[in-house]
Amino acid sequence: MSSASDPLAALGALPGVAESVESVRKAVDRVYGHRVMRRRGGEITSEAALRGARGSAALSGADWALEEVRRRTDFGADPEALAVGAALRLTAEAGQLLSIWRQSPMRVLARLHLVASGSAVAGAVVGRPRLAGEPVDEPLVNLPLPDAEEVAGRLDGLSRLVIAGGSAPALVTAAVVHGELLALRPFASCNGLVARAAERIVLINSGLDPKAICPAEVGHAEQGAGAYLEAFNGYVSGTAEGMAAWIAHCGRAVELGARESTAVCEALQRGAA
């Protein structure tokens, strides 16, 4: 990267990234400007949370219909139900951690993993990064696993970037946080769910999506696991082209999330007409 003092800003200067950032901003502004948002914004936020959780769970192997997620109350019966329950808990918890994120991102990540692993058996490794020799269960990502020492170093670097802030667009920061956590898989389980929840926190906390109505998780799921992994491989490659492709993929996910909430607004408007 060309700027040691603000490496995230350097990513924002990659070819095509500025266009992605601008496209996302326009999509977000459109849904925030919808007339329904002025009267029923709380309903849109709640619906976006539900749909975002469903999307994140789908990428973790539990591709349930939205109405099934909406009606279920028991999420402890099998691996798919556990994934959906974890995604719902993470989405609810994310909003409670916004004020802590910029001061202590590692504290937030530990909390997210603890929440995601709420139904784990006694003695399971939860709420802290894995140590040397501890296994990782992350079926979606089948890439070499960084060792615990590398994980600790890179998490520290990520934490420093978040705390330092900088001039990088929110989309760039969110994509890097998401990609880095998915690459490191720092926890024994639920890494994909935690990575997508952390992306949500950045998008909300940055002011890009303060009311949490543009769920990127919806867009990631809509683009499909294959496209998700292909873009993620670009992030892992570390090349300028790969990084830009991953940021663009995350940007498209936010746009699709905005489109989803726009459709909800339109449905509520028709119902009120």
d(CA 125, CA 190): 11
Q: How much is the pLDDT for 74?
A: 85
Which residues, at least 6 apart from 251, have a Cβ–Cβ distance to it below 8 Å? 20, 21, 23, 24, 171, 175
Helices 225-237 and 170-184 cross at an angle (nearest 10°) of 90
> Rounded to the nearest 5 degrees, what angle is found at the Cα of 83, between the Cα atoms of 79 and 84?
120
d(CA 92, CA 49): 8
- What mean pLDDT do residues 104-125 have? 83
User: CA dist 81 to 49, 66, 78, 122, 245, Å?
Assistant: 17, 13, 5, 19, 32
| Token pair for 188 | 């024994």
Of residues 107, 68, 111, 106, the one with CA closest to residue 89: 111
Q: Residue 77 — pLDDT band, cuts 50, 70, 90? A: confident
| Token pair for 259 | 């489109």
Residue-wise pLDDT tens digits, 224-234: 999 999 999 99
Q: Residue 1 — pLDDT band, cuts 50, 70, 90? A: very low
**Higher pLDDT residue, 117 or 105?**
105
Does 269 score more than 50 pLDDT?
Answer: yes
Does 60 score more than 70 pLDDT?
Answer: yes
Q: How much is the pLDDT for 203?
A: 98
Q: How much is the pLDDT for 186?
A: 97
Burial class (CB in 10 A: 0-12, 13-18, 19+), 164: exposed
- What mean pLDDT do residues 191-218 have? 97
What kind and span of H or E run contains 109?
A: helix 105-116
Query: Against a cut of 0.85, is the pTM above it?
Result: yes
- What mean pLDDT do residues 47-72 have? 96
3-state DSSP assignment of residue 161: helix
- What mean pLDDT do residues 125-149 have? 92
d(CA 177, CA 195): 7
What kind and span of H or E run contains 211?
A: none
DSSP string, 29-51: HHHHTSHHHHHHHHHHHHHHHHH
Residue-wise pLDDT tens digits, 180-193: 999 999 999 999 99
CB 211 within 8 A of CB 218: no
Amino acid present at 213: I
